[in-house]
Structure 1
Amino acid sequence: MSRSSSSSSRSSSSSSSNSSSPPRTPPNLHQNSIDPSSRWLVQKFGGTSVGKFAVNIARDIVPSYIDSNKVAIVCSARSGSTKALGTTNLLLRAASEALKRPRKTSSGYVTPVANGGIFGRSEEGSQSPPSSSPRGDTYPWGTGSMTPLTMPGIDSLPAFHATVDLIRQEHFNAARASVKDAGILKALEKEIERDCEWLRSFLYASQVIDEISPRSKDTIVGLGERLACKIMAAVLRDQGVDSEYVSLEDIVPEPDDLEASDDGTLDQDFYDRLSRAVGERVKQCGPRVPVVTGFFGPVPGSLLQQVGRGYTDLLSALLAVGLDASELQIWKEVDGIFTADPRKVPTARLISIISPAEAAELTYYGSEVVHPFTMEQAIRCRIPIRIKNVENPRGGGTVIHPDPEADTAQEEDELGSVPEPVSPVALALLAARAREASKQHPRHPTAVTIKEHIVVLNINSNRKSVSHGFLAGIFGTLDRFGVVVDLISTSEVHVSMAIEDGLSKKILERLLRELQKSGTVSVHHDMAILSLVGKHMCNMIGISGRMFTTLAQGKVNIEMISQGASEINISCVIDGRDAVKALNLIHQSCLQLPESISAAKSIAVGPWLF
């Protein structure tokens, strides 16, 4: 869609939201701390947390922080009862359905026709728009009803019509289950109705022009965060917390005023300016608790293309920077970062503090921690990131801390949780306890993780004497197909690569045909990457030997081995059927606390490995 139509749609929606905002704050509502010395605390809640635990968040979590902090909340789009019913997935489905060709009937094509017309015209072409919808509502873009008429050649509604109704009903159900105050619920339902009718109008217009631009898709997907934040703001008010819905749709300067780097990506200067703008906007809320949309409007090259669906996490980090927050809290449905996946390794333990480099490695190799780019925005401004459990708010969680002195990588059962928010005094005490603990026990790796659904490609050169052309041909082919390599091991005439099993069968076949021009290719499916991560592993003599000997004694075959250039990660590719067994074996031999491993359970290894 055009830039003007997209902008007008957003601005009209924003104005409607303001016009129907709840009445002024009653004096008994709980507000943010007004102590001038209080610092901001940014709390980001994911789609599952917002979808399942909105009342818990408003009743138990937020009130426990706002007396001593200024709290700002960022929400992702709500999850659904199934993954397919998640709001973002439904919005993307509706956008796709809007571009489907109308179905031809015996009387002609099925053409969406509005009562009064999309552009305010009646069936005869005269200008006579109705003043309200059949439900008596006034739509945010003005007046008019989008109820299609039964006309010759029309026997059904557009496919997206049912999807929009499903989005509306899912949010109505959530509102009615979470909000008890009749006045607040009525205002919230009106907002949901308006937003969904705006979406229906937007999709009708997209169908007419037969185009949804990347920016238009951004706008459609951004509706998910708007709906989630409106519900969360209403639930907070229903639970006695004074809240304010904050939309950031227009916070980004017009794209013509922005500059991307030479490769088309947004540079750090853009994110620095955005963090300042977001911080200033949120500060205008005064003592109210701001509930901020993770969607922050159109950016050069499209938000989904530049950042991806993780833009809500990124926005929370930028907001923390803009507010100079004491810490950024990311609330999930797990207690924090563990030494291994606790669903697969019963003896896994919670880590109280971890370094950004270790957290990034765990994210790359299978653990859902925090996206490295999101983490970078907060860490570069020395803002700690805490992972917490919305179902266990009293737990200390895991702190990703930028201070090297805090990089203890010790488990919670040794040092205890880090006080909230992180203070220099508490950090110094924790570091001292960690140093004392390290004198009694040698350091060990931080965590082990597994990344499943991996394909291994082995390429042997046909021309033994042209190794530089061999490698250039392989990497050029990977670049053309947009293939991301997780692990690679090379020699002069042989390359082994591990990639995610995400390519379609047709694309994989084309890739293999191209690679066969460089040499003989073999493919291994259903593999897994096992990674042992620890910042100090480069100084742990014999850790590689212990890892691979453990796998050998457990009869786990190794397909390929790779050690990252950062020297904090040792990875190998194994058969996917051995993934859980290997994870437990490595956790027991390399991450178990020294006092918990008896001599009888110790693993004998030859001195040549050390």
Structure 2
Amino acid sequence: MSESDLDPAGSPPALSNSSSRSATPPSPPTPPNLHQNTIDPEAKWLVQKFGGTSVGKFAVKIARDIVSGYIDQHKVAIVCSARSGSTKALGTTNLLLKAASEARRRSGSKSFGTPGNMTPLTNGMFGRAEDTPGVSSPGTPRGRSSSSPRSSSPPSMFPLTPLTTPQAGQSHPEFNTTVDIIRSEHMVAAQTSIRDPDILQELAAEIERDCDWLRSFLFAAQVIDEISPRSRDSIIGFGERLGCKLMTAILRDQGIDAEYVSLEDVLPSEEEDESTVPPGPLDQSFYDKVATVVGERVKQCAPRVPVVTGALYNCFFGPVPGSLLRQVGRGYTDLLSALLTVGLEASELQIWKEVDGIFTADPRKVPTARLIPIISPDEAAELTYYGSEVVHPFTMEQVIRRNIPIRIKNVENPMGGGTVIHPDPDLEPPHGGIPALPEPVPLAMLQELSAAAADEAHRSKRLPTAVTIKERIVIMNINSNRKSVSHGFLARIFGSLDRYGVVVDLISTSEVHVSMAIEDSLPSKIMDRLVSELRKSGTVSVHREMAILSLVGKQMRNMVGISGRMFTTLAQGNVNIEMISQGASEINISCVIEGRDAAKALNLIHQSCLQIKPEGARGRMGPWLF
């Protein structure tokens, strides 16, 4: 299968002189020079998700070189993560978590704040209505703004004014400094990225207003001395709102008619009745419903380019036990992208990062690693489980089950084809088939197609697809203190793991012996307690500084001798194997080795089992996979 058979939008087509604009301008009025999504009724939606690092470093490039190149032939919808800062510690999400923690800590002197009313914005690039009666806290699921469906106002704000100058005997709350850092980071980004003074002024006012809301929200949490899981989600979601507003303003500054879309008010009010939501984990019907509603909301933006917040914290996860971070983790922006892709029946989901796609091995450790143009969902899921940052398997499932491909692309190399995570080729293509590449095909794309053809020839040899390593692993061996079968032995072990929230990456068992590989992420006190409890079932030994080496490939089900070749190669390289496991999917073989041998083992297996020659296509290197 060639990549031209898969690629509806692998690289942005060259901009034409005539842009597709709507004959009837949307409300609010659009300046005549702004470029809009195509109004071709045959054009498919294309969802582009940009991570926090991309928004932080390449926002102008995204608008100028990426989005502008797609909107003449596709209806583009954009999803943005919270903006990363100049350093990891200054990343918006990290700062918000810090502020939430600070709000729980009371200082010795009194903090300050007075009740009042927030001033609403008029219509503009952020899509607010002129009046917003009935506002309420974003953590209150029943509160709804009376703005129109097209309004994309941020979460309804607490009726509190910004914190004022402290009086005698009072001091700023500790979180106030953290909010100031968030404000400063976004203000500097706006000033360095936006040329139009009017757009800059409107965005600056929006940042000020939102940061005042955050201070008020944190102040209220400090007053009641409580931050619930849903309130915590509201605080985390603030980062997506600021990131999307910044991107919306930059797009308009670059001549693209963009609209900020927040999804708090997208579900009907009856969906908020907690009595109608079953307890326990969310089932697939819930996500299908969310996808439909989100898709309908975003379609209302046409022909403007919607910039959608990735946080599902309020209306989707509010009525159920737990929180967004506990239900989904910090990959919730990818999940929203997937649900939006399904709801729009898009031709493709593009996830833009800072590397060309998925490689056969970590290119920072294996010089001969090369780009994989096409990979199956099962292979991508296995690589995710064993140390490679691909797409979360649950997020991927939402898109792949609708037979929609996912493409990982590089913000710094927009013309590259990236890596396509493609559904089973035996399934029927969605919506009448995937269209061919637009003409003319750029030279860079021809090179990518050539690499894809070479990759197909490589795959015909029935070789594995990739090798990956997961470091910072701990091995725990438990031997039963009974030499005969103990029926409660395994039950006690897994019960202890469950109580301490430990996830097991690999496991090997016999009647009286269990070996487990887990991440070395538990605090030392928790680890000591876990080991102490496990010793009630038998003797326990702990081995740190280990690594999981995994060989992955869908062809491996039918490869005779691949395990022998893998282990023989490691033995010849003097790499000791602590533990061996094969996944139930039969497309991976994993073993645990000492961490100091990780780089050597990767190169040995890459050369022996994948048979990658040094002249293989490399692609642009960056963080492992993307």
Which TM-score applies when normalising by structure 2?
0.81
1:545 partner amino acid: G
Secondary structure in 2 matching 1:536:
helix
CA contact (8 A) 2:162 2:212 kept: no
1:387 to 393, 408, 412: 408
The answer (yes or no) to whether the contact 1:327–1:383 under 8 Å persists in 2 is yes
* Higher Cα radius of gyration: 1
Q: Quick check: 1:146 aligned with 2:163? A: yes
Asked whether the 8 Å contact 2:34–2:255 carries over to 1, the reply is yes
Q: Which residue of 1 aligns with 2:537?
A: 518
1:128 is matched with: none
Instruction: Give 3-state SS (helix, strand or coil) of 1:290's partner.
Output: strand
1:564 aligns with 2:567: no
- CA, structure 1 residues 277+431, in 2 after alignment: closer, same or farther (shift >3 Å)? farther
Deviations 1:317-363 (A, max 9, x none): 00000000000000001100010011111100111110100000000
Identity %: 72
Q: Supply the distance in 2 between the matched residues of 1:73 and 1:308 (Cα, whole angstroms).
A: 21
What whole-Å deviation, never above 9, does each CA across 1:106-134 have from its counterpart, x for those lacking one? xxxx11123xx2368xxxxxxxxxxxxxx
Q: CA deviation at 1:309?
A: 1.3
The answer to whether residue 191 in structure 2 is matched with residue 194 in structure 1 is no
Q: Map 1:97-496 to 2 at 5 A.
A: 97-103=102-108, 110-114=109-113, 117-118=114-115, 144-152=161-169, 154=170, 156-253=171-268, 254-256=271-273, 264-298=280-314, 299=317, 300-301=320-321, 302-405=323-426, 419=437, 437=457, 442-496=461-515
User: 1:472, CA displacement in angstroms?
Assistant: 1.6
Alignment-mate amino acid for residue 569 of structure 1: N
Amino acid at match of 1:530: L
Which of 88, 92, 99 is equivalent to 1:94? 99
Asked if residue 538 in structure 1 is aligned to residue 557 in structure 2, the reply is yes
| 1:184-221, Cα deviation, whole Å (9 max, x unpaired) | 00000000000000000111111111111111111111
For residues 452 and 104 of structure 2, the distance between their equivalents in structure 1, rounded to whole angstroms, comes to 61
**Residue identity in the other structure for 1:384:** P
Q: Secondary structure at the match of 2:168?
A: coil
Partner of 1:40: 45
Judged with a 3 Å threshold, the aligned counterparts in structure 2 of structure 1 residues 538 and 158 are, in CA distance, closer, same or farther, namely: same
Q: CA deviation at 1:466?
A: 2.7
Q: What is aligned with 1:584?
A: 603
Distance 1:64 1:496, change over 3 A: same
Letter of the 2:369 counterpart = A
**SS at 2:477 equivalent:** strand
Q: Provide the rounded CA distance (Å) in 2 between the counterparts of 1:340 and 1:327.
A: 25
Give, in whole Å, the separation in 2 of the partners of 1:236 and 1:209.
Answer: 40
Contact 2:368 2:615 in 1 (8 A): no
Secondary structure of 2:49's counterpart equals strand
Distance 1:258 1:396, change over 3 A: farther
State the alpha-carbon separation in 1 of the partners of residues 366 and 523 from structure 2. Answer: 32
Q: Structure 1 stretch 470-479 or stretch 277-286: which is displaced more? A: 470-479
Query: Kindly tell me: are residues 591 and 205 of structure 1, through their superposed partners in 2, closer, same or farther at Cα, counting changes over 3 Å?
Result: same
Partner Cα separation in structure 2 for residue 143 and residue 182 of structure 1? 29
Contact 2:84 2:90 in 1 (8 A): yes
Instruction: Determine helix, strand or coil for the equivalent of 2:490.
Output: helix
Deviations along 1:431-472, whole A, 9 cap, x unmatched? 996898379x52100000000000000111110113332112
Can you list the C-alpha shifts for 1:235-283, whole angstroms capped at 9, x where unaligned?
0000011100001122245432575555x11111111110011100100
Distance 1:532 1:145 in 2: 55
> Which residue in 1 is equivalent to 2:65?
60
Equivalent residue of 1:467, what SS?
Answer: coil
The residue type paired with residue 176 of structure 1 is: Q
SS of residue matched to 1:53: helix
2:82 maps to what in 1? 77
- Paired AA for residue 65 in structure 1: Y
| SS of match in other structure, 1:451 | strand
Preserved contact between residue 161 and residue 216 of structure 2 (Cα < 8 Å): no
Q: Aligned to 1:28, which of 18, 27, 33? A: 33
Aligned equivalents of 2:499 and 2:160: distance in 1? 49
Matches of 2:614 and 2:87, distance apart in 1: 43
Q: What do you get for the CA RMSD once the two structures are aligned?
A: 2.6
Q: Secondary structure at the match of 2:265?
A: coil
Query: Residues 22 and 504 from structure 1, CA distance in 2 versus in 1: closer, same or farther, beyond 3 angstroms?
Result: farther
Question: Would the aligned equivalents of 1:457 and 1:497 in 2 still touch at CA under 8 Å?
Answer: yes
Distance 2:60 2:493 in 1: 53
| Inter-partner Cα distance in structure 2 for 1:583 and 1:369 | 18
In structure 2, C-alpha distance between the alignment counterparts of 1:336 and 1:248, rounded to whole Å: 30
Higher relative contact order (CA closer than 8 Å, sequence separation 6+): 2
Gaps of 5+ in 1: 1-20, 104-109, 121-138, 407-417, 598-610
Q: Residue 14 of structure 1 corresponds to which residue in structure 2?
A: none
Q: Kindly indicate whether the alpha-carbon contact (under 8 Å) linking 1:118 and 1:205 is maintained by their aligned counterparts in 2.
A: no
Structure 1 residue 475: deviation in Å?
A: 1.2
Q: Shift of residue 482 of structure 1? A: 1.2
Closer/same/farther in 2, CA of residues 436 and 447 from structure 1, 3 Å limit: closer
TM-score of the superposed pair, with normalisation by structure 1: 0.83
Specify every segment of 5 or more residues in structure 2 that has no aligned partner in the other structure, as ranges.
Answer: 1-25, 118-155, 428-435, 440-445, 617-626
Larger relative helix fraction: 1
Classify the secondary structure of the residue corresponding to 2:359: coil
**Pair 140,340 (structure 1): closer, same or farther in 2 beyond 3 Å:** same
